[in-house]
Structure formats: C-alpha cells, structure tokens
Amino acid sequence: MKEINKGDVFTLPAKFVTQEMICRYADAAEDHNPLHVDPEFAKTTRYEGTIAHGMLGVAFIQELLVRTFGREWLESGKIEVSFMAPVRPGDAVSVEAKIINVVPVEGDEHRKNIQIRMFCENSRQEKVIKGQAAVTISQ
C-alpha cells in the first residue's frame, strides 16, 4: 500500500443507479419496501418515485474504502454515516474520501490510525450521504 498522508483524496467513479439495481439490492437485503420496488406506489409518497435503500449508497462507500485500504479496512474499519437526500433511479453516484488525520499508534511506529471524511454525491452535485471513518493500517 502506498503511503497515506493527511489531505490525500480517494474517489470511486460514478455508479449509475437503475431501478433494476435497486430491486436486486432489495432481493439481497430481503427488504421489499414498496418505496424502493413499486414505482406506482412510490409516486404517491413525498418522494414522488422510488428511491434506493440507504445502505446501497453505503455499499459504494465501502467499495472505495476496501479498494483503498484492503484487508486492513475489513479487519479494523469503522464507519458512521448520515443520509442527506435520497438516491433515485437515474442518479450517477460518486464517492470521495479525504484523509483528515494520520496518527501513529503508540508503541508501534509501523502502524497508523487514519481518520477519513467521505461523502456520496449524485449527478446534480447534491450530497446524498456524508460520514466519517477510521482504520488502522501498517505503513
């Protein structure tokens, strides 16, 4: 893994969200809330159409963090998110993560605690998810 420094930015190319993707996620999560899978019902709600499960967007964040930190993310990563706006079919969702702090682990000069701020943004440049994460890595 390349050296990680405060200020480094990592991105995930935009993922195009489709109704089919949302329905496949519903099957995998066993969450068939009509707000996600029934366009006719969803039109009658305040959202005026289907929206993706919030955790689908979090899966995009997780993909970026695994690509960036690999096994160390899987072993020590922690994440907190806030959902800001719905993700809709037709949205292209991008992810950005910025390293906000790098702190050596006390007593182990080869390990560092990394603090990360990240967000998902739709094609209208609206933040749909924001959050923070932490991971311990060897460098």
- The rounded distance, in Å, linking the Cα atoms of 96 and 130 is 10
Q: What is the pTM of this model?
A: 0.92
- The rounded distance, in Å, linking the Cα atoms of 73 and 136 is 8
Task: List, for residues 49-95, the tens digit of each pLDDT value.
Answer: 999 999 999 999 999 999 999 999 999 999 999 999 999 999 999 99
- Work out the pLDDT band at 112, boundaries 50, 70, 90: very high
Q: 56: burial class by Cβ within 10 Å (0-12, 13-18, 19+)?
A: buried
- The rounded distance, in Å, linking the Cα atoms of 95 and 137 is 21
Q: DSSP states of 54-121 as a string?
A: HHHHHHHHHHHHHHHHTHHHHHH-EEEEEE-S---TT-EEEEEEEEEEEEEETTEEEEEEEEEEEEEE
pLDDT at 2: 77
pLDDT higher than 90, residue 116 = yes
pLDDT at 1: 66
Higher confidence at residue 18 or residue 139?
18
Task: List, for residues 22-54, the tens digit of each pLDDT value.
Answer: 999 999 999 999 999 999 999 999 999 999 999
